[in-house]
A and B are shown apart, each in its own frame.
Chain A
Amino acid sequence: MNTFKLQIAAPDGMRYDGEAVQISVRGIEGELAVLAGHIPFVTALKSGECRVYTEDNIIRRASCSGGMLMVSKDCVRLLSSDFTWEKE
Chain B
Amino acid sequence: MGANIKAIRARIKSVESTRHITKAMELVASSKIKRATAKMEQSRFYRSVMLDAFADLSSAKTMYSKARDASLPVLYIIVAGDRGLAGGYNNNIFRSSAVMMKENDIVLPVGKRAVDYYSGKKRTVVTKEFTSCEDMTSDGCSRAAYLIRDMYDRGEIGGVRLISTEFVSMLTQNPNMTHLLPLQKEGADETKPSVSVEYEPSAEAVLAALIPEYIAGVLYSSVCESFASELAARRTAMDAATKNADEMLDNLSLKYNQARQSAITQEITEIVAGANA
Contacts and interface: CB of A to CB of B under 8 A. Distances in A.
15 contacts: A9-B49, A11-B43, A12-B42, A13-B42, A28-B200, A28-B201, A29-B201, A40-B197, A40-B198, A42-B53, A44-B210, A68-B53, A68-B210, A79-B50, A79-B217
A57 B141 CA distance: 37
B46 A42 contact: no
Contacts of B39: 12
A16 B179 CA distance: 29
B145 to A, nearest CB: 9
B217 A11 contact: yes
A81 B213 contact: yes
Interface of B: 39, 42-43, 45-46, 49-50, 53, 57, 138, 141-142, 195-201, 205-206, 209-210, 213, 216-217, 220-221
B196 to A, nearest CB: 7
Contacts of B205: 28, 44
Nearest to A75: B49
A35 interface: no
A72 B196 CA distance: 10
> 8 closest A-B pairs (Cβ-Cβ)?
A44-B209, A13-B42, A41-B198, A43-B200, A11-B220, A9-B46, A40-B197, A11-B138
Nearest to B199: A42
A27 interface: yes
Contacts of A70: 49, 53
Interface string A2-42: 00000101111110000000000001110010000001111
B178 to A, nearest CB: 15
A48 interface: no
Nearest to A44: B209
Contact of A39 (B45, B198, B221): B198
Nearest to A43: B200
A10 B198 contact: no
A70 B195 CA distance: 13
A28 B209 contact: yes
A42 B198 contact: yes
Contact of B43 (A7, A12, A66, A82): A12
A10 B49 contact: no
Nearest to A10: B46
Given A12-B138, A68-B53, A81-B216, A29 B45 contact: no
B192 to A, nearest CB: 14
A11 B197 contact: no
Contacts of A9: 45-46, 49
Contact of A67 (B42, B141, B213, B220): B213
A77 interface: yes
A25 B160 CA distance: 31
A12 B226 CA distance: 15
A28 to B, nearest CB: 6
B49 A77 contact: yes
Contact of B197 (A7, A42, A82): A42
Interface string A43-80: 11000000000000000000000111010110001010
